[in-house]
Chain A
């Protein structure tokens, strides 16, 4: 795997796709340096695939954030009501 070749790191400040996908979280978290952010955005501007990739990462976060807990079963609800009552009865 040639993730960071001598050529790409030292002679060309451009980000290649394989590097860009590793920078997405730092980008979204706002932890890239200003220069790195500029290079990342410059890459996106010329790369529809990485632009799509970033949109998919955002979508992944959005859909993960839409998970809502399932309803408690009546049995669990009864058990927890019971637990609460036991705790109440311990109270001075």
Chain B
């Protein structure tokens, strides 16, 4: 994709394909992210539609202090928050949520049921499209706050600083949510692709 400055210039000067290209790139992740703040899919779609309009209307105010992507997601999250009913959610970081089921360890904390191999199977056996479909569904099933962090960090590849700013999280809470989300996904990969013994 073009540099942000170039893209903004094309958007301002009437390049329809620049806009549909941007939508193609971000519509789905925006929808996925919005869905974790609002009660249902229809509302999430409305929020995303509103966001695109707000993005266009705000283009002249975009100063490039953050990346265009961060700016888009920030607008989205602000709108989703003000629309959503869960804006008061606290981060339940104090609740213990082990990365691995405790029953897989023995009394001294060593593995009694060690991780089963799945990396080669996940990469080789399945068609990438089918795998992507599954992974997307797994992400949708993560608890909302974990999903938000995993989407922005691991799917969109943003830095922890960007994600903390967009989601109004402390670095520590962001890391806990990321850890839990990734740990759950790892377990789902293991369940799905472990070698048959």
Contacts and interface: CB of A to CB of B under 8 A. Distances in A.
Contact of B109 (A2, A66, A68): A2
A49 B115 contact: yes
A85 B100 CA distance: 51
Nearest to B172: A31
Contacts of A16: 108-110
A25 B172 CA distance: 11
Interface string B121-137: 01100001001100110
B52 to A, nearest CB: 6
B189 A18 contact: no
Contact of B14 (A26, A70, A88): A88
Interface residues of A, number: 45
A19 B109 contact: yes
Nearest to A78: B20
A82 B181 CA distance: 37
B1 to A, nearest CB: 12
A25 B26 contact: no
Interface stretch (B62-70, B85-93, B153-161): B153-161
B27 A69 contact: yes
B99 A21 contact: yes
B132 A66 contact: yes
Contacts of A81: 16, 19-20
B17 to A, nearest CB: 9
A29 B160 contact: yes
A60 B118 CA distance: 11
Given A18-B102, A69-B27, A63 B155 contact: no
B30 to A, nearest CB: 10
A68 B175 CA distance: 24
Nearest to A55: B119
A67 B152 CA distance: 12
Nearest to B189: A60
Contacts of B27: 69, 72, 76, 80
Interface of A: 1-3, 5, 8, 16-19, 21-22, 24-26, 29, 31, 49-50, 52-53, 55-57, 59-61, 63-72, 76-77, 80-81, 83-85, 87-88
Q: Which 6 A-B pairs rank lowest in CB-CB distance, beginning with the nearest?
A: A16-B109, A25-B179, A18-B109, A49-B114, A69-B28, A64-B154
Given A26-B179, A66-B128, A83-B52, 10 more contacts: A5-B109, A8-B109, A18-B98, A18-B102, A21-B183, A49-B114, A56-B115, A61-B154, A67-B155, A83-B56
